[in-house]
Structure 1
Amino acid sequence: MATLKAEQRSSLTKSERKTLRTKGKIPAVVYGKKITHTPIVIDEKELTAVLRTNPHAIIEMEVPAWGKQPVMINEVQRDAILRNVIHVDFHQINMDEPVTTTVRLDYVGEAAGVREGGILQIQHHEIEIRCLPAQIPDSIEVDISTLELGSNILVSELKVSDAIEVKSDPGDVLVTILAPQKEAVEPDTAEEAEQKAEAQAEAETSQV
């Protein structure tokens, strides 16, 4: 389980939030059944590590006045141009109550259709699930080794634990193998057609 340490803060002005970010701190809020809406500040490097490894994982957060609490990231706000994180919403969860989240799909194996020249096309890299927090997997494995040309794998075909309820549309295509496209042969230009006709006429003349 990832860990984050939060520092409590009061409401900040726009300039104060900007100053925080230059110091490697990210403004955030945490809320839930056990925690009222609490403004906090977290370390940017620690947050980046969590976002890079598993942004949907359970996080043990040490919140001032509330102690250690299990939380999940509810929303990440990024700068429209630079794409750096400017604010995060954390939701405090209860470990004995199901939560809805997304989980990464891990495609494994070499598809038979690819060996025949087909093109692997992945439609979804994540799916939505619902289960107890402790049952959330790091990823769900999708074996593509038996996929042939023109075949696909649907959400309904995923193999998951009985403790996990898949919320994504069962009919959604996760991955498919496309048949290789034949290279289009461009028609001859008028000049090329004329040159070919002349060459054929010369060949016929030489045979006489």
Structure 2
Amino acid sequence: MAITLEAKKREDLRTSNTKAIRLAGEVPAIIYGYQVDPKTVAVNSLELLKTVRDEGKNAIISLQVDGDSVDVMLHEYQTDPLKDELVHADFYAVNMKEELDVQVPVVLNGEAIGVKEGGVLQQPLYELALRAKPKDIPEQITIEVAGLNVGDSILVSDLKEGKNYEIMEDEGTTIVSILVPDEEPAEEPEAAEESEEPEAAADTEEDKNEE
């Protein structure tokens, strides 16, 4: 089910008006894509951030623009690095009957047995490439890792694909593994003592020559 978000038409594109929109707590945006002529709009910045935080970046948003409803996804957004605020957003109008290629976050659940025994968890892949219709895109892919021992790993081929989406990653790609911890052998005291003996012997020979 799409999340509803109100949007206002934005026809005055002057810089002064754009600044006023941001000061009012809104973010200027553009809508484009399937059967939609590009439109400039403004949406409430906090509501948009809350939607993405709660529903994920691939959430289907039903934008309400002057009585019209457009199903969109947040395609891209820009932030002010100093103020940590949204400054612009791009909404892509989607065809709900056609599949899309998206990146979905991978979330690990549980504490691996191997980690408890001193192993190191490594996660090379944080997102999975999927192909699905908009309404079938999962918010995240959860992987249970509690049963992993040192030396174990989970590959893309180990995942059971959902009925409504297709995993596009190479089957041999590692998602998570438990590595053997690195151990550096400590220097043995005997070796250190032996390294000092030749110097002592050399000093003795020099003393004899001086005499």
TM-score category (smaller protein): 0.7 to 0.9
1:132 corresponds to = 133
Task: Give deviations 1:10-42, integer Å, cap 9, x for gaps.
Answer: 142233222211210100011122211000000
Match of 2:165? 164
Q: CA deviation at 1:173?
A: 1.7
Q: Percent identity?
A: 34
| Contact 1:140-1:160 within 8 A present in 2 as well | no
Q: Residue type matched to 1:32 in 2?
A: G
**Alpha-carbon distance in 1 for matches of 2:22, 2:187:** 56
1-structure distance, mates of 2:161, 2:86: 33
Deviation of the 1:164 alpha carbon: 0.8
> TM-score, normalised on structure 1?
0.81
Write the letter of the residue equivalent to 2:26: K
**Could you give the per-residue CA deviations for residues 166-193 of structure 1, whole angstroms, max 9, x where no partner exists?**
12333322111121222553687xxx96
Selected match of 2:61 from 56, 59, 62: 59
Distance verdict in 2 for CA 1:169–1:81, change over 3 Å: farther
Counterpart amino acid of residue 145 in structure 2: I
Deviates more, 1:35-44 or 1:129-138: 129-138
Residue 90 of structure 2 aligns to a residue whose secondary structure is strand
Change (3 A) 1:19 1:147: same
Correspondence 1:143 to 2:178: no
Give TM-score scaled by structure 2 length: 0.80
Superposition RMSD in Å = 2.4
3-state secondary structure, aligned to 1:37: strand
What is the match of residue 6 of structure 2? Answer: 5
Partner amino acid for 1:138? E
Query: What corresponds to 2:106 in structure 1?
Result: 105
- Cα distance in 2, alignment partners of residues 127 and 41 from structure 1: 31
Q: CA deviation at 1:5?
A: 0.6
Q: Return 16-25 or 88-97, whichever deviates more.
A: 16-25
Give, as a single letter, the amino acid of the residue that structure 1 aligns with 2:57. Answer: P
Deviations 1:102-124, CA, capped at 9 Å, x for gaps: 22222123322112211112222
How much has 1:79 moved relative to structure 2? 2.2
Larger radius of gyration: 2
Query: Is contact 1:29-1:90 (8 Å) kept?
Result: yes
Gaps of 5+ in 2: 198-211
